[in-house]
Amino acid sequence: MKTIRSLLLALVSASLLMAWPAHAQKQVPVSRAEMALSFAPTVKKAAPAVVNVYALKRSTQRPNNPFMDEEFFRRFFGGPQGTMPMERVQRSLGSGVIVHESGLVITNHHVIQGANEIRIALGDRREFEAEVVLLDPRSDLAVLRIQSTKERFAPIEIADSDQVEVGDLVLAIGDPFGVGQTVTQGIVSATARTRVGITDFQFFIQTDAAINPGNSGGALVDVNGRLVGINTAIFSRSGGSHGIGFAIPTNMVRVVIASALAGNKVVQRPYFGARTQAVTAEVAESLNLKRPAGALIASIIPDSPAAKAGLRAGDVVLAVDDVGVDDPIALQYRYALKSIGSTAKLTVERNGRQIQVNIRLEAAPERAADEIEISARSPFNGARVSNFTAEIANRLRADPATAEGVVVVNIADGSSAQRIGLRPGDIILEVNGAKIENTGDLDRAAQQPAREWRFVISRGGQRRNVVIRG
């Protein structure tokens, strides 16, 4: 009996195997029951558009040996070669995504920052040189173009990141640790993460798909193989993946790509013209709001778009074009996605009732650089400074409309400015109690004789008070 049963089972199994196609087409899993199927079709669709980005940074430096500056020591310890500058090469590896058939590649700004040479490696192992088309430090995105080829590339399909929901299945594709293209799978853990501190527009997709060093600039795709985000950072205490990764939403990516295709070197974003703050539980209670959400307008900049639209201090912005905003960062993100020259509708809570306000989307007023070198006898002697222009503000990740002070762009060797430790990128805000709003203000302040100099600078986003006596 047992033998007959075994024979029947064998016959049934053989018939099933014969009926199953040898090359059955795989499908994207769309239900729990189909989880036993494969993501291979998704990978085959998206992976060819994901590339490796190799960035080389070359710099020269003199040997760190003060004795080699003396002829006597050069003769007896190494001769003339002792003072020859040495070349230092730094290599960084990241990922990128082809987003246009002409060979445009989107990646993270931090992957190629300061690079002298950039190469792109395709999935089929071909390598090409690449040029920088546009840098956008404020979003940590950069656009590259593959050079030396007339080939048309297959770009990835880009999805609407606003349609991404918590719990959606996603795949992360990149080149972690330089081991080769790798795919990891997970879910969307959260959307609209605003307290990550990576870019100016903190509005990230969080995922538990494993993201490791080298994945930066790679693709986060949905189950249909469409790009939903650019992998940019991980939360880790060891450098490895702990299941908390962040991706820049594609709706921000689209803005940067559009600027690059338009031939712009800087992404121009609309200027709001108001300073905002978070709505705390106490503020919500005092304003009789239903919940502590939105962006509270603290002050209005005169003659700005916000002022022209009739917004007032004390207003709470709840939505932009009917998309809710929970805090000032979300407002900044939603506003930055809009096109200059159009109009946005703001939902505003004012005096206990909701109103609709139309605001014209304008570029920030451009300021002349008025670049000068400070020559007066002062701690700033030898510092070359500039007003905030759109380009400088973009490089320093500052809002050109609200940025204050003047920027140090160069320091003369052996100057007073160098001796006191000023650096390019420092922002001078105040000198001896006088507010510095432009380069002329600093020039006049430097010409005033003083036994003691007190000034305020901003470096890396941190304010510093400096006192120089003598």
Q: So which residues are the catalytic ones?
A: 110, 140, 216
> If you compute the radius of gyration of the chain from its CA atoms, what whole number of angstroms results?
28
Q: How many other C-beta atoms lie within 10 A of the C-beta of residue 279?
A: 23
Q: Are 184 and 210 in contact (CB under 8 A)?
A: yes
3-state helix, strand, coil in the chain (%, to 5): 20, 35, 40
d(CA 459, CA 48): 42
Q: Which of 400, 365, 457 is nearest to 138 (CA)?
A: 400
DSSP 37: S
Q: Tell me if residue 129 falls in helix, strand or coil.
A: strand
Q: Which of 185, 155, 144, 156 is nearest to 168 (CA)?
A: 185
d(CA 400, CA 137): 14
Which class for 454: exposed (0-12), middle (13-18), buried (19 or more C-beta within 10 A)? Answer: middle
The CA angle 176-133-160, to the nearest 5 degrees, is: 65
Amino acid, res. 165: E
Sign of CA dihedral 416, 419, 420, 422: positive
Sign of CA dihedral 326, 327, 328, 332: negative
Tokens representing residue 227 in the block: 């790009």
Strands 353-360 and 323-324, by their bridges, are unpaired
Q: How many other C-beta atoms lie within 10 A of the C-beta of residue 307?
A: 14
Tokens representing residue 284 in the block: 């919500």
Amino acid, res. 214: G
d(CA 148, CA 192): 39
- What is the number of helices (H) and of strands (E) in the chain? 11, 27
Q: Give 405's contacts (C-beta < 8 A, 6+ positions apart).
A: 388, 427, 428, 429, 430, 436, 437, 457, 458
Instruction: Give how far the C-alpha of residue 377 lies from the chain's centroid of Cα atoms, to the nearest Å.
Output: 40
Q: Tell me if residue 19 falls in helix, strand or coil.
A: helix
Phi, psi of 290 (to 5 degrees): -65, -35
